Structure 1
């Protein structure tokens, strides 16, 4: 299976880059992983809802250009469905059995995802009702995908 993670913005912190590299290496046993970054827009302090919506739409256009038509798209959203690690593993395994060979996970920027990206989404996934920095969310997502493959393959994982 091919897994693509599309994210808004670059990772600047070395400790996050190291964690992403480690999980990418671990995942290479289980799937073909690619991480694609799109440029983020500067959000002025105190931006109006209209300005924020325009920013989300610009970032969304960049995201949508990277999504292939046959991909199954999972957007990370606070309002999405929360799953246990076992349920996420089951979802990934079921999608593979159903013939979905390319999963795309989308992590928005600091003010979220645009309407068109949300419309393209096949599944809205939430990790928590809390807000996480999108850079850290990349690490959390990769760890959970790795954990999913460990579960799918009946391999031990930390509970």
Structure 2
């Protein structure tokens, strides 16, 4: 079973964000071991050491930075990427969601690749929900299971 860690800047405060994330985390339990590490929202200079620490703790993981300037990825593309990584023996994938100021250069350099959900800007809370939903959808695609809307 693949391990997925989401290093997410910012704490979920509103109940609806927490509920949405909890629902996808529950669904993902059948497909992967998923963990969310929250980094307190602050300035980039304060966030970066905490992000780096979380990334260093995930030794050998494949790190994907969510970045508006990254490669646009479809649901099928993400499924293919997760499946390819699993076949290659990369059993741990880390996704990084930066704060409102983005991430520092050291975090950017640690990333194996950068992924984008398109040219839109969204709050990190919404990005976390979208990422969890897309990871869930990716595993459904990999297993050729129907996705119920």
TM range (shorter): over 0.9
Instruction: Name 1:52's counterpart in structure 2.
Output: none
Instruction: Check the 8 A contact 1:2/1:103 in 2, yes or no.
Output: yes
Contact 1:2–1:33 under 8 Å retained in 2: yes
Which runs of structure 1 show a deviation greater than 6 angstroms over 4 or more consecutive aligned residues? Answer: none
- The number of equivalent residue pairs is 146
> SS at the partner of 1:66?
helix
| Pair 1:63 & 2:83 matched | no
Q: Give yes or no for the alignment of 1:113 onto 2:111.
A: no
Give 1:135 shift: 0.7
Deviation at 1:158, TM superposition (A): 5.5
Q: Is the 8 A contact 1:74 1:124 kept in 2?
A: yes
SS in 2 for 1:131: coil
Alpha-carbon deviation of 1:130?
Answer: 0.8
Give the aligned partner of residue 51 of structure 1. none
Query: Aligned residue for 1:85?
Result: 75
Larger Rg: 1
Alpha carbons 1:83, 1:127 under 8 Å: kept: yes
Alignment match of 2:124 (pick from 134, 137, 153): 134
Instruction: Quote the residue 1:76 is aligned against.
Output: 66
